[in-house]
Amino acid sequence: MDVLPGGAVSINHVRSRFPFAPRSIWKGVPDSQWNDWHWQQRERVTTLEQLDQVVRLTDDERRAVVEADAQFHMGITPYYAALMDPEDPTCPVRLQSVPTMGELNFTAADLEDPLAEERDMPVPGITHRYPDRVLFYTTHNCPVYCRHCTRKRKVADPSSAAAKKQIEESLAYIELHTEIRDVVVSGGDPLSLSDDRLDYILGRLRAIPHVEIFRLGTRNLVTLPQRITDDLVQMLRKHQPVYVNTHFNHPRECTGEAFDAARRLADGGCVIGNQMVLLKGINDDPRTVKELNHRLLMMRIRPYYIYQCDLARGISHFRTPIETGRRIIRSLRGHTSGMAVPYFVVDAPNGGGKIPVNPDYVVRHEGKRWVLRNFAGKEFTYDEP
């Protein structure tokens, strides 16, 4: 990394490996609009007629766009829509954003609230499950409504919006509970809020003496990187330490725009982690995950979790066997940088929380003798002194 005068850093030597997204039908749109996140929000693809202009739809997609809407709206920013392959219905970006009839296939295992987030809700808007941290819902909006979303029950639904009163009651709860040192600011996507609104919420949190850190759970780096403006980063600088957990699922999402957004956040002092969801047909193979994680590390984003796709209603077509995740971790551990190896977890139904299900490298253990297997399958003995 080159250090420039004034202490700024240049990572242009890796930046050149991240081409800008194509602009598809928006080729004629001036940069001033394309790079304006308000324009991107306003121009979202929400109807069959609009989508028809962007990709060659299959019959299944065409039916699903109409029929699945009642369950979960469609919304795709022009930026993310332009990443889709117009000819290939198995395109990973398309599968994440365009409805398919699989969404209407409900199974007996499906759950409305798969992580029991509503059950552990002492006040509306706060999930308090673990002793020292809470999940804080601030909005029901997202730039793109991901077809695999675990919070389909409330995301995109205006009746679930976090009104001012709810935000104030949530802040009051956090103020009262001195054991809370870590707040996950979530939604929907909290970057759907204006800078001023977010500044107010983060400022209130920062003023609470027992709150040490907060994390922003946002997919804007992936679906609307234009949202990461200099003004936003300046505002976040005031509230450090700020952790940002984002959600890249495929290397195709690692564009020049996403790289620049991550660069702005990292230069602004944010520590960025990625939470990938394992999705059938999108990233359920070791090569894709390795490439994704390598690209993320170049973007200064640390792969943090791989989630087993949960039991939310209407996402059974995305689920993979747990063994798929373990196989992917086995293919990474020791075969590439340890930093590119996230934890594979099952967020257990009924509020069990995140449980690691990583491969086991302990062959056996007798007294002080541990027989261990390395990444290449060779066994080694460690005798505890």
15: three-class secondary structure by DSSP: helix
Smaller CB separation from ligand SF4, 37 or 332: 37
Per-residue x/- track, 206-225, ligand SF4 (CB under 6 A): -------------x------
* Least distance (Å) between residue 14 CB and ligand SF4: 26
Q: How far apart are the first and last CA of the chain?
A: 42
* Least distance (Å) between residue 1 CB and ligand SF4: 30
Contacts for 330 with CB less than 8 Å, ≥ 6 apart: 359, 375
* Least distance (Å) between residue 279 CB and ligand SF4: 11
Q: Does 145 bind ligand SF4 (CB under 6 A)?
A: yes
**Region for residue 376 given its phi and psi (left: phi exceeds 0; alpha: psi -120 to 50; beta: otherwise):** alpha
* Least distance (Å) between residue 188 CB and ligand SF4: 6
State the Cα torsion 34-251-256-73 to the nearest 10°.
Answer: 20
Identify whether 241 is preceded by a cis peptide bond (ω within 30 of 0).
Answer: yes
The secondary structure of 275-310 as a DSSP string is EEE--TTTT-SHHHHHHHHHHHHHTTEEEEEEEPP-
The span of 57-65, 140-148, 170-178, 278-286 binding ligand SF4 (CB under 6 A) equals 140-148
Active site residues: 129-130, 133, 142, 146, 149, 151, 310, 347, 354
Nearest Cα neighbor of 162 from 154, 174, 153 is: 154
Per-residue x/- track, 154-173, ligand SF4 (CB under 6 A): -x------------------
Smaller CB separation from ligand SF4, 146 or 341: 146
The span of 81-89, 120-128, 148-156, 167-175 binding ligand SF4 (CB under 6 A) equals 148-156
Smaller CB separation from ligand SF4, 44 or 341: 44
* Least distance (Å) between residue 152 CB and ligand SF4: 7
Q: Does 151 bind ligand SF4 (CB under 6 A)?
A: yes
Q: How far apart are CA 203 and CA 140, in angstroms?
A: 21
Q: Does 142 bind ligand SF4 (CB under 6 A)?
A: yes
- Sequence-ordered strand ranges (E) for 84-198: 126-127, 133-137, 182-186
Q: Does 185 bind ligand SF4 (CB under 6 A)?
A: no
Smaller CB separation from ligand SF4, 80 or 344: 80
* Least distance (Å) between residue 217 CB and ligand SF4: 7
* Count of residues engaged in binding ligand SF4, rule: CB under 6 A: 9
Nearest Cα neighbor of 125 from 90, 94, 158, 168 is: 168
Let me know: does 348 contact 355? Beta carbons within 8 Å.
Answer: yes
Q: Does 272 bind ligand SF4 (CB under 6 A)?
A: no
Cα atoms in the Cβ-side hemisphere of radius 13 Å centred on 9: 14
The span of 13-21, 46-54, 76-84, 138-146 binding ligand SF4 (CB under 6 A) equals 138-146
**Nearest-5° Cα angle at 202, 196 to 203:** 85
Q: Does 146 bind ligand SF4 (CB under 6 A)?
A: yes
Q: Quote the longest CA-to-CA distance of the chain.
A: 71
Enumerate binding residues for ligand SF4 (CB under 6 A).
142, 145-146, 149, 151, 155, 188-189, 219
